[in-house]
Amino acid sequence: MALDKPYKDIPGTTIFDAEQSRLGYHLNQFCMSLMTAENRARFKADERATLDAWPMSEDQKQAVMARDLNRCIALGGNIYFLAKIGATDGKSFQQMAGSMTGMSEEEYRDMMIAGGRSIAGNRVIGEDGDAQAHRQPQGRAGRTGRA
Amino acid sequence: MARISASVYTSHVPAIGAALDLGKSGEPYWQPVFKGYEPSKEWMRTHTPDVVFLVYNDHATAFSLDLIPTFAIGCAAEFQPADEGWGPRPVPVVKGHPELAAHIAQSVIQDDFDLTIVNKMDVDHGLTVPLSLMFGQPAAWPCPIIPFAVNVVQFPPPSGRRCFALGQAIRKAVAAFDQPLNVQIWGTGGMSHQLQGPRAGLINRDFDRDFLDRLIADPEGLSHQPHIDYVREAGSEGIELVMWLIARGAMAGNSGKDAPRVVHRFYHVPASNTAVGHLILENT
C-alpha cells in the first residue's frame, strides 16, 4: 500500500521528503561544498566546470546557473542547501525566498512588513490565494504578464 | 540531584544573528524584535543556569544528506560556530557539558529513544541565535550548553507525540544526575514561516497564538497535532515548532495546579521571512 502523503495538495509548496531527497542528493551535496571559502571562489570563477564535477542532471545544472530556485526545488533541491548558493552570491534568505514568488525584492519585503502572506486561499490547491499556480508570478511582474 | 528549573522557547531566525553581528539591532526594523527580548535578558541575569540543554535543528550545516539523524545529542567538550556560507558568526565557542550529556544519552536510550551521539560537530544559527537573544553579546557564554539537534529538514521529522515523550524522558534523566545542577531546557525554531516556493512568506498569526496558548496550558493535547497541520497552516518550515514540545515535555507540570508559571511571552512579525515567538516558563 502506498504511503499517505497529504502534503501534496498544498499550493506553492514542495515538501522535502525521502523521494525529493533522493532526486536531489547530488545537487544538495554540491551546495554543501560551498561551505568553504575556497570552493565558493572556485564556483564563482567557473560555474559550469564546477558543476560538471558533480553527477547532477543537466536540468539541475541549468537551474543552478539560472539561479532558478523553484526549478532547483522541483528537481530535488532543499532550501537550506540551496541557501549556500545564495550565500555565495551574497544574497540574504529574504532575497532568496522572495525570488521564488516573482515579486521584486521590495514588494516581498513590504509584504513581510505588512504581516506576511495570508493563509486564506493558500491551504489547498484549487483555492484562490496568491500562492496558487494561476496567480503566478506575483507582484508587478504578474500584473504586467497577465495584462 | 540536578533539576530542570525553567524552559525557554524562541525562534532562531538567522537574520536576527546577522542584525546583531552587524550592529543593526537599533534600526527601526529590528528594534521591536530586540525590545521583546529585553525582559528575557533581565530575567536571565538572575536566573543563569548551570547548564542549558538546547534543542534546535541543524540547517544543512553539520549534517549534509550523507547522514540525517532524527535526534542527535552533542557530547563534546566544545562546539565551534559554523561557516554557513557567510563565514562563521563572531560569537564565542560553545562549551559543552560532556558528563551530563553522556548521562542523559545513556538514560533516554534505555528509555527507548534511540539518540545519535555526536562527539564532533559545528553548530549553526539554530543554536547560536537563541544564545545571542538570551545572553546578549558576551566574550564567553555564561554556562555550558548541550546541543540537541532534531531533524526537521528532511520530512518527516519526529512526531509531536514523540518529541513530547522524549522531553519527559530527558526530565527523568536530569533528575537522576548526581550533581546539584540547575538546568534549563530550550526549544527553538518556528514560528510560522515558509522559505520556499510561491507560498514563501506565509505567516499565520492565529495558528501561532493558538500554539502558544496550548503549549502553556495543554501541551499533551497539542502534542497530538499531526505534521500536516503544521506544514499546511504554519508553512513548510513552521514544522520546526515540534521541537518546542521536547522542552515542554521536560517541564514538571503539564496542566492544572502544577502548571509552570509564564514569566514572559512575546510575538512579533516579521523578522526577515518569519514570525518571531518567544516564551519563558518556570517550574513552580
Q: What is the pLDDT of residues B128-165, one digit of tens each?
A: 999 999 999 999 999 999 999 999 999 999 999 999 99
**B46-105 pLDDT, tens per residue?**
999 999 999 999 999 999 999 999 999 999 999 999 988 778 999 999 999 999 999 999
Contacts of A112 in chain B (CB under 8 A): 201, 203, 269-270, 272-273
Q: Which residue is it, cell 514561516? A: B193
Res. A144: pLDDT tops 80? no
Q: Is A103 exposed, middle or buried (0-12, 13-18, 19+ CB in 10 A)?
A: buried
Asked if the bond preceding B32 is cis, omega within 30° of 0, the reply is: no
Predicted local confidence at residue B255, as pLDDT: 61
Dihedral sign for Cα B8, B212, A100, A24, please: positive
Quote the percentage of chain A above a pLDDT of 70. Answer: 98
Contacts of B229 (CB under 8 A, 6+ apart): none
Distance CA A105, CA A65 (A): 20
Pairwise CA distance, residues A76 & B261, whole Å: 44
Indicate if B193 belongs to the active site: yes
Partners of residue B78 on adjacent β-strands: B95
Average pLDDT of the residues in B19-31? 96
Other beta carbons less than 10 A from residue B235's beta carbon = 34
Whether the per-residue pLDDT at A136 is higher than 50: the answer is: yes
Q: Is the pLDDT of residue B205 over 80?
A: yes
Question: A120 in contact with B at a CB cutoff of 8 Å?
Answer: no
Which chain A residues have a beta carbon less than 8 Å from that of B209?
none
Minimum CA–CA partner of A107 in chain B:
B201
CA distance B58 to chain A (A): 10
Q: What percentage of chain B has pLDDT greater than the value 90?
A: 95
Mapped onto helix, strand or coil, the DSSP state of residue B281 is strand
Q: How many Å apart are CA B68 and CA A135, to the nearest integer?
A: 36
Residue A97, chain B, CB below 8 Å: the answer is yes
Specify the pTM. 0.96
Q: What is the pLDDT of residue A147?
A: 45
Closest CA to B168 of B52, B248, B262: B248
Determine the distance in angstroms separating the CA of B116 from the nearest CA of chain A, rounded to an integer.
Answer: 20
**ipTM metric:** 0.95
CA distances from A104 to A64, A73, A122, B56, B197 (A): 20, 20, 20, 32, 15
Residue B256 has pLDDT above 70, yes or no: no
CA distance B263 to B267: 14
Residue B214: CB atoms within 10 Å? 16
Give the residue on B whose Cα is nearest the Cα of A90: B86
Say yes or no to pLDDT of A119 above 80.
yes
Please return the burial class of A46, using the count of CB atoms within 10 Å of its CB with bins 0-12, 13-18 and 19+.
Answer: exposed
Distance from CA of B69 to the nearest CA of A (A): 14
Please check whether residue A133 is in contact with residue B199, taking contact to mean a CB–CB distance below 8 angstroms.
no
Residues on chain A touching B232 (C-beta within 8 angstroms): 7, 10, 123-124
Residues whose CB falls within 8 Å of the CB of residue B130, separated by 6 or more in sequence, listed in order: B8, B10, B12, B54, B56, B186, B188
Looking at residues B219-241, what average pLDDT do you find? 97
How far is it, in rounded angstroms, from Cα B115 to Cα B141?
26
Q: What residue has cell string 526549544?
A: B187
Is residue B125 part of the annotated active site? The answer reads yes
